[in-house]
């Protein structure tokens, strides 16, 4: 193993959290490798509304700028690749193997690998996801405020989501995609706030380049709509933390403490893979915090 393959920290995931951590560690003079597979979950999002920016740049443009800024620090290296295996060595460090057959060693690991959304089997949904079918009003609500808006969901979670979205628009319809499972009290509450409920099963979403136009139901009817919110299941984008023994929460996130530490000593995590608050600002903050805390741990171990 050559010294070029040995690092203080390896960051798996080169999105907002990973680059932010890389910046903190680079400024702390740490030798860092960022490995990124190139498939961010927000790849289809046209604008990064939850970042304070005047030019409305897309996430990919912002990420590329951030990458260039991080790589200005000479101790930081970026590798486009996929980590396929990670294990602890006899001396307590970590060994990583990539799909290209490369091997790297690190004292600490940071997973900023995000999550993968599991799309429902409805034609047009995935094409609209992140464009006009949205997951978060704090990320996109202002841009689509007061528009003809729908919510896809059922039961308790759809009731709570309806309450939340009603802050941004009064033109609101709940699509349960089958018989509603709301309680009588919830039905009355939605009715009082003029939130319509449509129980017809959905066949597809008509759209133009991801911009939703109509919901097509299995009974042949259609309903025009400008934007739709949906909370869909997700899974960890990278399975390696779990295979290494990192504990997951009941919701499926990597469990971390206040220091961004996982349940496995030496392994840290930050960003969307650790929290329900999926936003650029939260990812950047968590990455910066993780970088600083990892550096602090390395100092304490060496001092």
Per-residue pLDDT tens over the stretch 181-192: 999 999 999 999
| Model pLDDT, residue 54 | 39
pLDDT-derived band of residue 1, with 50, 70 and 90 as boundaries?
very low
Short-list 269, 284, 272, CA closest to 115: 272
DSSP state, 201? P
pLDDT-derived band of residue 287, with 50, 70 and 90 as boundaries?
very high
Strand pairing category for 103-111 and 94-98: antiparallel
Which of 18-22, 90-94, 278-282 bottoms out in mean pLDDT, i.e. has the lowest? Answer: 278-282
Written as six digits, the tokens of 7 are 């690092």
Is residue 260 within 8 A of residue 285, CB to CB? The reply is: no
Tens of pLDDT, residue by residue over 215-265, are 999 999 999 999 999 999 999 999 999 999 999 999 999 999 999 999 999
pLDDT-derived band of residue 38, with 50, 70 and 90 as boundaries?
confident
| Model pLDDT, residue 62 | 84
Short-list 2, 9, 26, CA closest to 270: 9
Q: Where are the alpha helices (DSSP H) in 74-183?
A: 125-128, 137-140, 155-165
Say if residue 169's pLDDT is above 70: yes
Say if residue 289's pLDDT is above 80: yes
| Model pLDDT, residue 2 | 46
CA distances from 6 to 9, 88, 93, 131, 206 (A): 9, 14, 10, 41, 51
| Model pLDDT, residue 57 | 64
């Amino acid at each position: 193993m050559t010294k070029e393959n040995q690092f203080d920290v390896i960051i798996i995931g080169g999105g907002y959290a990973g680059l932010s951590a890389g910046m903190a560690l680079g400024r702390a003079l740490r030798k860092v490798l960022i490995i990124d597979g190139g498939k961010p979950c927000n790849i289809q999002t046209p604008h990064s509304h939850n970042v304070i920016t005047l030019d409305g740049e897309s996430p990919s443009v912002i990420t590329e700028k951030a990458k260039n800024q991080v790589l200005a620090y000479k101790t930081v290296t970026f590798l486009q690749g996929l980590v396929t295996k990670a294990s602890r060595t006899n001396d307590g460090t970590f060994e990583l193997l990539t799909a290209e057959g490369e091997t790297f060693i690190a004292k600490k690991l940071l997973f900023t690998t995000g999550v993968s959304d599991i799309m429902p089997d409805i034609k047009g949904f995935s094409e609209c996801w992140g464009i006009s079918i949205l997951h978060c009003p704090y990320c996109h609500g202002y841009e689509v405020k007061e528009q003809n808006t729908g919510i896809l969901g059922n039961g308790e979670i759809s009731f709570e989501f309806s309450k939340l979205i009603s802050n941004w628009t009064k033109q609101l319809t709940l699509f349960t995609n089958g018989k509603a499972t709301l309680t009588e009290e919830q039905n009355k509450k939605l009715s009082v706030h003029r939130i319509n409920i449509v129980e017809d099963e959905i066949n597809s979403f008509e759209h133009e380049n991801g911009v939703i136009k109509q919901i097509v139901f299995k009974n042949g009817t259609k309903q025009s709509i400008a934007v739709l919110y949906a909370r869909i299941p997700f899974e960890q984008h990278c399975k390696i933390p779990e295979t290494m023994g990192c504990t997951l929460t009941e919701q499926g996130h990597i469990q971390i403490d206040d220091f961004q530490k996982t349940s496995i000593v030496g392994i840290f995590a930050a960003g969307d893979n650790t929290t329900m608050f999926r936003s650029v600002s939260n990812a950047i903050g968590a990455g910066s915090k993780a970088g600083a805390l990892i550096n602090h741990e390395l100092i304490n171990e060496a001092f």
